[in-house]
Amino acid sequence: AQSVTQLDSQVPVFEEAPVELRCNYSSSVSVYLFWYVQYPNQGLQLLLKYLSGSTLVKGINGFEAEFNKSQTSFHLRKPSVHISDTAEYFCAVEDSGYSTLTFGKGTMLLVSP
């Protein structure tokens, strides 16, 4: 079974600072990778996904992620965060042949003024 590791459970950052949320996955085959965001008391919303092609993927709200096959990583970045980016961020990998997602434990991004 595939697994996803999000190395940081919480990332505090000041408004307008850059941020990187780390994600590593375990897989010996080609994978599809996703980042979802969960705002307080809401469901999960897709930020971006990597299927193939360019390793740099751009998503909504100014976020981007880079797929690194050799390091089995898919880190999420934003050059300048806003208070409204405060939320929990989940990295996920699609299980081969199933179309289901295995999620990491999540990283809480806390943006303060």
Residues that bind other proteins (CB under 8 A): 32, 36, 42-46, 49, 51, 90, 94, 97-106
Shortest separation between residue 110's beta carbon and other proteins, angstroms: 16
Of the two residues 70 and 99, which places its CB atom closer to other proteins in the complex? 99
Of 36 and 81, which has the nearer Cβ to other proteins? 36
Please, what is the minimum distance in Å from the beta carbon of residue 93 to other proteins?
11
Q: How far is the CB of 66 from other proteins (least distance, A)?
A: 18
Contact between 69 and 87 (Cβ < 8 Å): no
Work out whether strand 107-112 and strand 87-94 pair parallel, antiparallel, or are unpaired. antiparallel
Alpha-carbon dihedral sign for residues 98, 23, 64, 43: positive
Residue 66 and residue 74 in contact, taking contact as beta carbons nearer than 8 Å: yes
Instruction: Pick the closer one to other proteins by CB: 68 or 96.
Output: 96
Total number of residues shown for the chain:
113
